[in-house]
Amino acid sequence: MKKPLVVVTRKLPDVIETRMRELFDARLNVDDTPMSREALIAAVQTADVLVPTVTDRIDGRIISRAGDKLRLIANFGAGVDNIDLDTARARGITVTNTPGVLTDDTADITMALILAVPRRLLEGNQVMNAGEFKGWSPTWMLGHRVTGKRLGIIGMGRIGQAVARRAKSFGLQIHYHNRKPVPKPVEDALEATYWDSLDQMLARMDIVSVNCPHTPATYHLLSARRLKVMKPSAYIVNTARGEVIDENALARMIEAGELAGAGLDVFEHEPAVNPKLLKSKNVILLPHMGSATLEGRVDMGEKVIINIKTFADGHKPPDRVLQAML
């Protein structure tokens, strides 16, 4: 049987690329240079399967130029806001993703930011690197303890629940906003309080963690108006998608002291970052590394391979993205 032509848009772990070459006619991106729109269009015109990453914009104009051979877009990532699902569906193209494998990695980095921002860990590290540490003082570099604080989680899916489990062990009180409450056994185990109203939850939280996907419904979910609902002493952590927060409004409020600080791993116009956030001492910025573990990347690649192999064998791939999931 002829191997499907699979175009991979970025470099993946060697073990994954090797297995792809064994199973498929895989065209790899060895030098890891992001593909231009023209290159993506050329890829969809010739490939049987496209393997993009979450930073590749596979919009309707690109998909509409796809050749008759393209029948599967196997996304290397859990989020699929980079793909025009409606156009793909109209063209009869199946879309898959890699859910579940990044839950713990992302929850770990979220918890790290929840701890690091109130305790001013980055500021302390900068003082040491600059050689400015002159000795201990009772009133110097004071932060805030997290034990006993209220954590509001926006989006109580796999990652949100994993964050809640970690935060509970640190003594935080768990609150959450979701489209609907999680099953009662889960809620009871986490001792979590559900808020139907996001505004009411935000007004009462000490720390807010964004863990929901980016969809049209969640774009600027934390708008300027909603950010102003929060307490000036509150912190925001975002390891989901930058578009969920109005970044300009967030930067202005932190600069004005209307919010205490933030820990951000994602940005609205990534890789660009608001200059006010870059200058702020009480903001920790990470380069979209929430899922950046070797184990996680390999697990993602294995899911991509399973989805392609299952599809090529004439079966429904296990990680098909359905409209109802959005």
Checking if the pLDDT of 161 tops 70, the result is yes
Task: Kindly state the average pLDDT of the residues 25-39.
Answer: 96
269 near 242, Cβ under 8 Å? Answer: yes
Number of CB atoms found within 10 A of residue 271's CB: 8
What is the band of 280 on the pLDDT scale with cuts at 50, 70, 90?
A: very high
Least confident of 99-103, 109-113, 143-147: 99-103
Return the H-helix or E-strand segment holding 118: none
* Chain-centroid distance, C-alpha 240: 3
Catalytic residues: 241, 270, 288
Checking if the pLDDT of 2 tops 90, the result is no
**Distance linking the first and last C-alpha atoms of the chain:** 35
53 near 31, Cβ under 8 Å? Answer: no
Strand order from edge to edge, sheet including 5-8 = 25-27, 5-8, 49-51, 72-74, 94-96
What is the band of 1 on the pLDDT scale with cuts at 50, 70, 90?
A: low
Query: CA torsion sign, 210 to 212 to 213 to 219?
Result: negative
- Which one of 3.30.70.100, 2.40.50.140, 1.10.10.10, 3.40.50.720 gives the CATH number of domain 103-285? 3.40.50.720
CA distance 139 to 275: 30
Q: What CATH code is assigned to 5-100+293-325?
A: 3.40.50.720
pTM of this structure: 0.89
Look up residue 2 and give its DSSP letter.
P
Task: Kindly state the average pLDDT of the residues 187-192.
Answer: 97
* Parallel, antiparallel or unpaired: strands 49-51 and 193-194: unpaired
Q: Which of 111, 116, 212 is nearest to 170 (CA)?
A: 111
195 near 211, Cβ under 8 Å? Answer: no
Q: Which pLDDT score is estimated for 196?
A: 97
Query: What percentage of the chain carries pLDDT values higher than 90?
Result: 96
- The answer to whether 5-100+293-325 and 103-285 have equal CATH topology is yes
Q: pLDDT tens digits, residue range 120-158?
A: 999 999 999 999 999 999 999 999 999 999 999 999 999
What is the residue extent of each domain of the chain? 5-100+293-325, 103-285
